[in-house]
A and B are shown apart, each in its own frame.
Chain A
Amino acid sequence: MPEPGAAPSLIGAPVKRREDQRLLTGRGRFVADLLRPGMVHAAFLRSPHAHARILRIDATAATFGPGGVAVFTADDLRPHARPLRALSRMRGYAVTEMPALASDKARYAGEAVAAVLAESRYAAEDAVDRIVVDYAPLPAASDPRTAMADGSPLVHEEIKTNVILSRAFSQGDVTAALAGSAVRVADRFRFRRHAAVAIENRAGLAEWDAGAGALTLWTSTQVPGMLREALADLLLLPAHRVRVVAPDVGGGFGMKSALYPEEVAVCALARLLGRPVKWIGDRREDLLTSTQAWDEDIEAELGLDGDGRILGLRASVWADLGAYSIYPWTASIEAIQVVSFLPGPYRVPHYHAEAWGVATNKAPMGPYRGVGRPVSTFVMEGLIDRAARRLGMDPAALRLANLIRPDELPYRSPSGLVWDSGAFIETLERACDAVDYARLRAAPPRDAAARRRTGIGIASYVELTGVGSAIPASPGADIATGTEGATVRVDPAGTVTAAFGLACHGQGHETTLAQIIAQEVGVELDAVRVVHGDTEAGPIGTGTYASRSAVIGGGAAILASRAVRDKALLIAAHRLEVDPRDLEMAGGVAWVRGAPDRRIPLSDIARTAYFGVRRLPKDMEPGLEATRYYDPYIGTAANATHIALVEVDLDLCSVTLARYVIVEDAGRIINPLIVEGQAIGGVAQGLGAALLEEVVYSDDGQPLTGSLMDYVIPTAVEMPLVEVMHVEQPSPSTLGGFKGVGEGGTIGAPAAIANAVANALAPLGVEITELPITPERLFRLLDRRREPAVECAP
Chain B
Amino acid sequence: MADLVSVQLTINGQRREGRCEPRKLLVDFVREDLGLTGTHVGCEHGVCGACTVLVNGLAARSCLMLAVQANGTELVTVEGLMKDGKLHPLQQAFHEHHGLQCGFCTPGMLLAALDFLNTNPSPTEKEIRQGLSAVLCRCTGYQGIVRAVEAAAIVLRDAR
A-to-B contact residues, CB < 8 Å: 16-17, 19-28, 30, 32-33, 66-67, 122-123, 196-201, 248-251, 253, 280, 282-283, 505-508, 673-674, 676-677, 680-685, 707-709, 713, 715-717, 719, 721-722, 745
Check B138 for interface membership: any CB of A closer than 8 A: yes
Contact of A677 among B21, B78, B101, B106 (CB under 8 A): B101
Known: A20-B94, A707-B43. A25 touches B48 (CB 8 A): no
- Tell whether, in the assembled complex, residue B101 and residue A25 are in contact, meaning their CB atoms are under 8 Å apart: no
Interface majority SS (helix, strand, loop, mixed), chain A: loop
- Tell whether, in the assembled complex, residue B140 and residue A717 are in contact, meaning their CB atoms are under 8 Å apart: no
Check B102 for interface membership: any CB of A closer than 8 A: yes
A-chain residues with CB within 8 Å of residue B96 when the two chains form the complex:
16
Check B136 for interface membership: any CB of A closer than 8 A: yes
Known: A677-B140, A716-B132. A27 touches B38 (CB 8 A): yes
- Tell whether, in the assembled complex, residue A197 and residue B47 are in contact, meaning their CB atoms are under 8 Å apart: no
- Tell whether, in the assembled complex, residue A681 and residue B45 are in contact, meaning their CB atoms are under 8 Å apart: no
B-chain residues with CB within 8 Å of residue A507 when the two chains form the complex:
101
Check B137 for interface membership: any CB of A closer than 8 A: yes
Check B44 for interface membership: any CB of A closer than 8 A: yes
Q: Which of B54-62, B141-149, B152-160 contacts A (4 or more CB under 8 A)?
A: B141-149
CA distance A722 to B87 in the complex (A): 28
- Tell whether, in the assembled complex, residue B142 and residue A709 are in contact, meaning their CB atoms are under 8 Å apart: no
- Tell whether, in the assembled complex, residue A251 and residue B138 are in contact, meaning their CB atoms are under 8 Å apart: yes
**Can you add 13 more A-B contacts, CB < 8 Å, to A250-B104, A717-B129?**
A22-B103, A24-B87, A24-B103, A25-B81, A122-B24, A199-B137, A249-B102, A250-B103, A251-B101, A506-B102, A674-B98, A676-B98, A708-B136
CA distance A8 to B91 in the complex (A): 28
Known: A27-B38, A719-B142. A508 touches B101 (CB 8 A): yes
Contact of A719 among B45, B98, B100, B141 (CB under 8 A): B141
Known: A673-B98, A708-B47. A26 touches B42 (CB 8 A): no
- How far in angstroms is the closest Cβ of chain B from A197? 6
Interface majority SS (helix, strand, loop, mixed), chain B: loop
Name the residue of chain B whose CB is nearest to the CB of A709.
B47
What are some 9 contacts across the A-B interface (CB < 8 A)? A24-B100, A26-B37, A199-B102, A201-B42, A283-B42, A505-B102, A677-B98, A684-B138, A722-B143
Known: A26-B79, A199-B102, A707-B43. A716 touches B128 (CB 8 A): yes
Check B105 for interface membership: any CB of A closer than 8 A: yes
- How far in angstroms is the closest Cβ of chain B from A427? 20
CA distance A25 to B88 in the complex (A): 9
- Tell whether, in the assembled complex, residue B23 and residue A24 are in contact, meaning their CB atoms are under 8 Å apart: no
B-chain residues with CB within 8 Å of residue A24 when the two chains form the complex:
78, 87, 91, 94-95, 100, 103, 106, 110
Check B50 for interface membership: any CB of A closer than 8 A: yes
Contact of B103 among A19, A197, A674 (CB under 8 A): A19
* 8 A Cβ contacts from B108-160 to A: 110, 128-130, 132-134, 136-146
Name the residue of chain A whose CB is nearest to the CB of B104.
A250
B-chain residues with CB within 8 Å of residue A715 when the two chains form the complex:
129, 132-134, 136, 142
CA distance A27 to B79 in the complex (A): 8
CA distance A472 to B48 in the complex (A): 36
A-chain residues with CB within 8 Å of residue B141 when the two chains form the complex:
677, 680-684, 719, 722, 745
CA distance A23 to B78 in the complex (A): 10
- Tell whether, in the assembled complex, residue B38 and residue A199 are in contact, meaning their CB atoms are under 8 Å apart: no
- Tell whether, in the assembled complex, residue B138 and residue A713 are in contact, meaning their CB atoms are under 8 Å apart: yes
CA distance A238 to B46 in the complex (A): 44
- Tell whether, in the assembled complex, residue B138 and residue A30 are in contact, meaning their CB atoms are under 8 Å apart: no
- Tell whether, in the assembled complex, residue B24 and residue A26 are in contact, meaning their CB atoms are under 8 Å apart: no
- Tell whether, in the assembled complex, residue A251 and residue B38 are in contact, meaning their CB atoms are under 8 Å apart: no
B-chain residues with CB within 8 Å of residue A21 when the two chains form the complex:
95
Known: A201-B42, A283-B42, A681-B141. A26 touches B91 (CB 8 A): no
Contact of B140 among A250, A282, A680 (CB under 8 A): A680
B-chain residues with CB within 8 Å of residue A28 when the two chains form the complex:
38, 103-104
- Tell whether, in the assembled complex, residue A707 and residue B47 are in contact, meaning their CB atoms are under 8 Å apart: yes
- Tell whether, in the assembled complex, residue B101 and residue A681 are in contact, meaning their CB atoms are under 8 Å apart: yes
B-chain residues with CB within 8 Å of residue A674 when the two chains form the complex:
98
Name the residue of chain B whose CB is nearest to the CB of A25.
B82
- Tell whether, in the assembled complex, residue B106 and residue A253 are in contact, meaning their CB atoms are under 8 Å apart: no
Contact of B107 among A26, A685, A716 (CB under 8 A): A26
Centre residue among B82, B101, B133, B142 by max chain A CB count within 10 A: B101
B-chain residues with CB within 8 Å of residue A745 when the two chains form the complex:
141
* 8 A Cβ contacts from B8-42 to A: 21, 23-24, 31, 36-42
A-chain residues with CB within 8 Å of residue B101 when the two chains form the complex:
251, 506-508, 677, 681
Name the residue of chain B whose CB is nearest to the CB of A687.
B141
Contact of A708 among B45, B105, B106 (CB under 8 A): B45
Name the residue of chain A whose CB is nearest to the CB of B43.
A283
Known: A716-B145, A719-B141. A23 touches B103 (CB 8 A): yes
Known: A25-B79, A249-B102, A677-B140. A716 touches B133 (CB 8 A): yes
CA distance A253 to B139 in the complex (A): 9
B-chain residues with CB within 8 Å of residue A17 when the two chains form the complex:
95, 98
- How far in angstroms is the closest Cβ of chain A from B13? 15
- How far in angstroms is the closest Cβ of chain A from B28? 8
Contact of A66 among B1, B81, B132, B133 (CB under 8 A): B1
Check B77 for interface membership: any CB of A closer than 8 A: yes
- How far in angstroms is the closest Cβ of chain A from B65? 16
List of 5 A-B pairs having minimum Cβ-Cβ separation, nearest first: A26-B38, A250-B104, A23-B103, A506-B102, A506-B101
- Tell whether, in the assembled complex, residue A26 and residue B43 are in contact, meaning their CB atoms are under 8 Å apart: no
A-chain residues with CB within 8 Å of residue B142 when the two chains form the complex:
684, 715-716, 719
Known: A249-B102, A251-B104, A677-B140. A708 touches B37 (CB 8 A): no
B-chain residues with CB within 8 Å of residue A27 when the two chains form the complex:
38
CA distance A677 to B103 in the complex (A): 13
- How far in angstroms is the closest Cβ of chain B from A44? 16
- Tell whether, in the assembled complex, residue A253 and residue B43 are in contact, meaning their CB atoms are under 8 Å apart: no
A-chain residues with CB within 8 Å of residue B1 when the two chains form the complex:
66-67, 123
- Tell whether, in the assembled complex, residue B42 and residue A253 are in contact, meaning their CB atoms are under 8 Å apart: no
Centre residue among A21, A23, A67 by max chain B CB count within 10 A: A23
Name the residue of chain B whose CB is nearest to the CB of A286.
B43
- How far in angstroms is the closest Cβ of chain B from A2? 31
B-chain residues with CB within 8 Å of residue A198 when the two chains form the complex:
102, 104, 138
- Tell whether, in the assembled complex, residue B144 and residue A677 are in contact, meaning their CB atoms are under 8 Å apart: yes
- How far in angstroms is the closest Cβ of chain B from A662? 11
CA distance A198 to B48 in the complex (A): 11
- Tell whether, in the assembled complex, residue B37 and residue A33 are in contact, meaning their CB atoms are under 8 Å apart: yes
Contact of B21 among A122, A282, A676, A708 (CB under 8 A): A122
Name the residue of chain B whose CB is nearest to the CB of A673.
B98
- Tell whether, in the assembled complex, residue B130 and residue A685 are in contact, meaning their CB atoms are under 8 Å apart: no
- How far in angstroms is the closest Cβ of chain A from B58? 20
Known: A123-B1, A199-B104. A26 touches B136 (CB 8 A): no
A-chain residues with CB within 8 Å of residue B48 when the two chains form the complex:
199, 283, 708
CA distance A743 to B109 in the complex (A): 24
B-chain residues with CB within 8 Å of residue A26 when the two chains form the complex:
36-39, 77-79, 107
Contact of B45 among A16, A30, A505, A709 (CB under 8 A): A709
B-chain residues with CB within 8 Å of residue A19 when the two chains form the complex:
103
B-chain residues with CB within 8 Å of residue A25 when the two chains form the complex:
38, 78-79, 81-82, 87, 91
Name the residue of chain B whose CB is nearest to the CB of A682.
B141
- Tell whether, in the assembled complex, residue A253 and residue B104 are in contact, meaning their CB atoms are under 8 Å apart: no
Name the residue of chain B whose CB is nearest to the CB of A674.
B98
A-chain residues with CB within 8 Å of residue B94 when the two chains form the complex:
20, 24
- How far in angstroms is the closest Cβ of chain A from B131? 8
- How far in angstroms is the closest Cβ of chain A from B114? 13
A-chain residues with CB within 8 Å of residue B104 when the two chains form the complex:
28, 30, 198-200, 248, 250-251
- Tell whether, in the assembled complex, residue B91 and residue A708 are in contact, meaning their CB atoms are under 8 Å apart: no
- Tell whether, in the assembled complex, residue B102 and residue A200 are in contact, meaning their CB atoms are under 8 Å apart: yes
Centre residue among A21, A25, A676 by max chain B CB count within 10 A: A25
- Tell whether, in the assembled complex, residue A717 and residue B37 are in contact, meaning their CB atoms are under 8 Å apart: no
